[in-house]
Amino acid sequence: GPTYLKRDRFEVALLKEAVAANKAIMGICRGMQLINIALGGSVYQDLSEDPRQTLKHSQDAPGNLPSHHINVAPESRLFKLTGRRAYVNSRHHQALHQIAPGLHVTASADDQVPEAVESVSSDQILAVQWHPENMFKHDPSSQHLFADLLQRAAARR
């Protein structure tokens, strides 16, 4: 698809400043991809390039409905918010490839496509591949993600 280099450069610079300022960061979909790239990782430009991909990651159902499960690492912050097996929506055609230093994958779809990353040595970054902003009205796990961001932000004041 089309790219917008000016937006990409701005968002990478903004993220790097937020990391340096120790701000609480939550990434959603493109945000997770941007965080990974800005911190030194890479993405598959299209899921068809990812040999792991076997699930449909661009759902036909309305965005407020879940379409596939994810497996969440028990030692992760995300596990405390969603449990071991969350049911999420999915509207992406890119996926993380090489994971940036300082991040680790904390959730994957059943086909092993990364669905969440977190900071290795702190609680600064939590990023997800799905869209909790579309599911929060009826999904407690999505509500927990936003509450967690507010808690992390308040603790850094």
Which residues form the catalytic set? 29, 131, 133
Buried b (16+ CB within 10 A) or exposed e, 120-151: eeeebbbbbbbbbebbbeebebbebbeebeee
Q: Is 88 exposed, middle or buried (0-12, 13-18, 19+ CB in 10 A)?
A: buried
Distances (CA, A) of 110 to 21, 35, 121: 35, 23, 26
Half-sphere exposure of 57 (CA within 13 A, CB side): 23
